[in-house]
Amino acid sequence: MAQHRSAEKRARQAEKRRERNRAVRSRVRGSTRAVRAALEGGDIATAQKQLHEAEKIIRRAASKGVVKKTTASRAVSRLAKAVHRASSAGK
């Protein structure tokens, strides 16, 4: 446990950040899951809407430093590729 006042404050700040980061990461995973679920169900229109939302959430997480920028780009790219592939196959 922290002994100094500054260390106690740092511990409090770290805990707040940890909780906030967990919430953001959870939203990222949930939005990604929603896109994948729409694709599994074959609902292309919903998948495209979900992709748009997921991209916003993922990019925001990257800008806040919760996930790395390259990791976020890779996640968005893979989701977009999957949605594009599904919409092309549907035509």
CA distance 16 to 34: 27
Provide the whole-model pTM: 0.88
Residue 39 lies in domain: 5-90
| Overall domain count for the chain | 1
CA distance 26 to 16: 15
Condensed to tens digits (0 to 9), the pLDDT of residues 23-81 reads 999 999 999 999 999 999 999 999 999 999 999 999 999 999 999 999 999 999 999 99
Average pLDDT over residues 5-9: 96
What pLDDT is stored for residue 90 in this prediction?
66
Contact call for residues 72 and 58 (beta carbons, < 8 A): yes
* CATH label of the domain that carries residue 64: 1.20.58.110
